[in-house]
Amino acid sequence: MVRKIISRGVVYLLFFSLLLVISCSEGGEKPPVGDPPQLLASDPADGQTDVAEGITVITLRFDQNVTLASSPQATLNGQLITDLRPGLKGELKMVVSPLLLATGYTLLIPAHTVKGPTGLFNASDIRISFKTRTPVPPREGLSPRAENLLQFLKQQAGKVILSGSMANVAWNTSEAEWVHYHTGKWPALNCFDYIHLQSSPANWIDYGNISVVETWWNNGGVVSAMWHWNVPANSGEQGAYSFYWGSKPEQTLFDVKKIDDPASEEYKRMTADIDKLSGYLKMLKDRGIPVLWRPLHEAAGNIGVYPGGTAWFWWGAGGAEPFKKLWRLMFDRMTHYHGLDNLIWVWTSQVIDSDWYPGDDYVDVVGRDNYNESDAATVKNEYVLLRERYPDKPVALSECGNVANISDQWSAGARWLWFMPWYDYARTGNPQSEAFLLKTHQHASIVWWENALAQPYVLTRDELPDFK
């Protein structure tokens, strides 16, 4: 009897012990719930090959706020990083020695170094490799100041955008003065136009008087120049000139295809005009002024845009091949015959005109003229296409009017090298007029300019380095 009671007690004891174990496991502390931090992005990015030299902070971004182990072990090229700073929004900043030019780097962070916000859940090993930029080899034959300017443009491409203004018709800075009057800031760049070459010198236009250009340069501004190249309305005709092409009396039938015939009147006229203009450009060279030189712009016009599309300037009326021959003739004659080593050559693309490209040896910068496009995404698509097509050339918004705000373009990914709204003759033709006081504009109002100049990546004249 006693044995049965004892046996029954043992069974009961075992049963209640099991219940206790079950109840403790169900009602006790549960294991922590969560996920380890996941790396979302880094700056510099893994695999990036154009990182700027001099950077002292590497930033990692995780999917949650992070903490660090008591003795974090992070290295850059084997050197221990001692300054690690977790922040808000999942950021981890690491202060390092300034990155060196043309150097490969590897960041290593072992597992158990980066933890979740509670100190639990260790991140996996992190390995990020990148390279700083390799200096762009100088274009052979450029003057030191032109080389300084070109290298600056190449190095800053995608990081900053230069603000620009266009001379009102030809030989002035009145648009820049208008921007300064209303905003207190000067555009970084001013573009001049040799549109009246056939008339200069005259009492109303004399490109030999370079004081306005020299003043702009001496005040720290970048000089750009273009050429609405007027030719006789008909081959050999004097008096009536035009840069357009067509059948109307005020337009020209000047035949650019005669570029293949050095004995033709057209060829002689083209070389004579190039020589005359080279004399004026040499005056700028002699004063040590580099020039962003943008001739023969918008050559393709609407060719390829729609069936029957045509060029609107005579230099594109003969198609791609005569145009490229004319461009190369001008380049060779100005560069080698006249010794103009102060010119940085800017070719203007119509986006659909890849077969019109003169070639890498004849182009330093690719430009795009864009008007009446308020959709920043569309503008961005043009920028991306040109950057992909010409990867070794910076790309500029060489002319614009009534386009999306620069802030919207930049956010969308259109990181132009510079922008330049076209002039408004009625507003800025006479700085002494009442119209000059208006903030409205045919192409870029003061509201548009204020948006642009408020962006930290938009450079004004006073923010440029000394290219001398």
What is the C-alpha separation between 272 and 165, in angstroms, rounded?
30
Is the pLDDT score of 211 beyond 90? yes
Which of 461, 4, 13 shows the shortest CA–CA distance to 216?
461
Is the pLDDT score of 326 beyond 90? yes
Task: Establish whether 373 is a catalytic residue.
Answer: no
Between β-strands 418-421 and 458-459, what pairing exists: parallel, antiparallel or unpaired? unpaired
Q: What is the pLDDT of residues 76-115, one digit of tens each?
A: 999 999 999 999 999 999 999 988 878 999 999 999 899 9
Is the pLDDT score of 333 beyond 50? yes
- pLDDT, residue 30, reads 53
The single-letter code of the amino acid at 49 is T
Between β-strands 241-242 and 365-371, what pairing exists: parallel, antiparallel or unpaired? unpaired
What is the C-alpha separation between 127 and 438, in angstroms, rounded?
57
Is the pLDDT score of 33 beyond 70? no
- What is the percent of the chain where pLDDT is above 70? 91
| Paired strand residues for 126 | 109
- pLDDT, residue 2, reads 40
Among 63-77, 130-144, 165-179, 432-446, the minimum mean pLDDT is found in 130-144
Which phi and psi (to 5°) does residue 365 adopt? -135, 140
Instruction: Choose the catalytic residue: 147, 175, 177, 298.
Output: 298
Is the pLDDT score of 416 beyond 50? yes
Is the pLDDT score of 236 beyond 70? no
What is the C-alpha separation between 348 and 366, in angstroms, rounded?
6
Among 2-11, 110-119, 364-373, 445-454, the minimum mean pLDDT is found in 2-11
Among 19-33, 231-245, 269-283, the minimum mean pLDDT is found in 19-33
Q: Supply angle C-alpha 390, 393, 395, rounded to 5.
A: 90
Task: Establish whether 91 is a catalytic residue.
Answer: no
What integer best gives the mean pLDDT of the chain?
Answer: 90
Mean pLDDT of 140-160: 94
- pLDDT, residue 86, reads 94
Instruction: Choose the catalytic residue: 177, 399, 434, 463.
Output: 399
55-to-58, 101, 384, 447 alpha-carbon distances in Å = 8, 10, 26, 35
pTM assigned to the model = 0.73
Is the pLDDT score of 264 beyond 80? yes
Mean pLDDT of 144-153: 96
Which phi and psi (to 5°) does residue 296 adopt? 50, 45
273 contacts 265 by C-beta, under 8 angstroms = no
Mean pLDDT of 169-185: 96
Higher pLDDT: 222 or 50? It is 222
Read off the tokens for 341: 């080593």
Place of tokens 């221990």: 80
In order of their start, the domains of the chain are 39-131 (2.60.40.1220), 144-463 (3.20.20.80)
- pLDDT, residue 467, reads 95
Is the pLDDT score of 1 beyond 60? no
SS3 10: helix
